[in-house]
Amino acid sequence: MELEERMKRMDGTLSLSQEKLLHFVLENKEQTAVMTVRELADACQVSIATVSRFAKQLGFGSYGQFQGVLQRDMLKRIDTVEKIRNTAAAGDGGGFVHNALARDRTTMEMEEAGLKEEAVGEIAARICRASCVYLAGLGSSRALVDFLNYRFCWMGIPTRKLTAGGNEFMEQLVFLSEKDLLISVGFRKTYREIGIAVDYAKEAGACTVGIAESPTSEIMKKSSLVLPIKRGPEGEWNSLAYPMSVCNILVRQVLERRKERAIRTAEKLQQLNGLLNEA
């Protein structure tokens, strides 16, 4: 990451206030990428002028230019082949079960503070009010869409899954209206179809929910309501333990709001499934 290297080379050459900014940005790159100049100044307890001078010290004409480059750096995705190489090189050796579980626990503990009960509650309420919930996710995020779709089905919530790209994706999306809700799921990469879906939903007047990993992703920046779902170190393959946990929390909050209807729907489904087992 060229910008990161540039900042590291400047360490020890700046004023005390700018050193404070430098260390904050290096330790909180994704957070800084979506902060206003005032928010960054307040977080570091420096003046807005100091932030502007800091950006110029890095060679930018303004804080906005610096932030734009930082955002682009955050969105540069390490490709799958590189992730496989890194994961294979790291290895687990002895105690691989403990090591894998420890990594997931660490991710959950680090990200728990970013998951706000108010946000989960509001999204759950929107799901319950929607005429239909559109669930959009491509690539590895399809696993989360399938999980949410399965749980919502048992609670009697009408859904449409948008997990196939291209024309098939658009053939499902075209029915979305202002009474519906779009939940878009993604990690660091935002597929073209997902970006189109969020724009289309907003134009239709529908509420949009983004469940994504990067705060600089198109999903997070465009959606009305968001849930962060970090997976772990970006340079390796990571499990879906924390993202699945977040989705399960959301499902339970929806269930809290529609217990009786969920029970009635589950009973009907159980009866229908029972017909399959009749001789």
Q: pTM (2 decimals)?
A: 0.75
The predicted pLDDT at position 174 comes to 96
Task: Give the number of residues written for the chain.
Answer: 279
The predicted pLDDT at position 91 comes to 65
Q: Where are the beta strands (DSSP E) in 38-189?
A: 133-137, 159-162, 181-186
Within 8 A by CB and 6+ apart from 37, the residues are 48, 51, 52, 63
- The predicted-structure confidence for 48-80, as pLDDT tens digits, reads as follows 999 999 889 888 999 988 888 887 776 665 566
- The predicted-structure confidence for 207-232, as pLDDT tens digits, reads as follows 999 998 877 778 888 899 999 888 87
For the chain, which domains are there?
Answer: 2-75 (1.10.10.10), 110-276 (3.40.50.10490)
List, as own/partner pairs, every contact residues 174-178 make where C-beta atoms lie below 8 angstroms and the sequence separation is at least 24, other chains included.
175/132, 176/132, 176/134, 176/200, 176/201, 176/204, 176/206, 177/131, 177/204, 177/206, 178/204, 178/205, 178/206
The predicted pLDDT at position 132 comes to 97
Q: What are phi and psi of 153, to 5 degrees?
A: -60, -45
Q: What are phi and psi of 96, to 5 degrees?
A: -65, -30
The predicted pLDDT at position 82 comes to 65
The predicted pLDDT at position 2 comes to 77
The predicted pLDDT at position 181 comes to 98
Q: Report which residue type is found at 229.
A: I
| Confidence grade of residue 15 (pLDDT, cut at 50, 70, 90) | confident
**Beta-carbon count within 10 A of 268 CB:** 11
| Confidence grade of residue 83 (pLDDT, cut at 50, 70, 90) | low
Query: Is residue 121 packed enough to be buried (19+ CB in 10 Å), middle (13-18) or exposed (0-12)?
Result: middle
H or E segment and range at residue 227? strand 225-228
Q: Where are the beta strands (DSSP E) in 50-178?
A: 133-137, 159-162
Q: What integer is the mean pLDDT of 268-273?
A: 91
CA distance 271 to 79: 46
| 12-21, 70-79, 108-117, range with the lowest pLDDT | 70-79
The predicted pLDDT at position 96 comes to 77
> What is the pLDDT of the chain when averaged over all its residues?
87
**Given a cut of 90, is residue 151 above it in pLDDT?**
yes
Within 8 A by CB and 6+ apart from 249, the residues are 115, 120
Residue 230 has which token pair? 């970090």
81 vs 270, more confident: 270
Task: Indicate the SS3 state at residue 226.
Answer: strand
**Given a cut of 80, is residue 246 above it in pLDDT?**
yes
CA distance 115 to 100: 23
Chain centroid offset of residue 124 CA: 16
- The predicted-structure confidence for 162-186, as pLDDT tens digits, reads as follows 999 999 999 999 999 999 999 999 9
What residues form DSSP beta bridges with 161? 135
Task: Note whether 180 and 206 are within 8 A (CB).
Answer: yes
Q: What are phi and psi of 76, to 5 degrees?
A: -70, 115
Task: Note whether 11 and 19 are within 8 A (CB).
Answer: yes
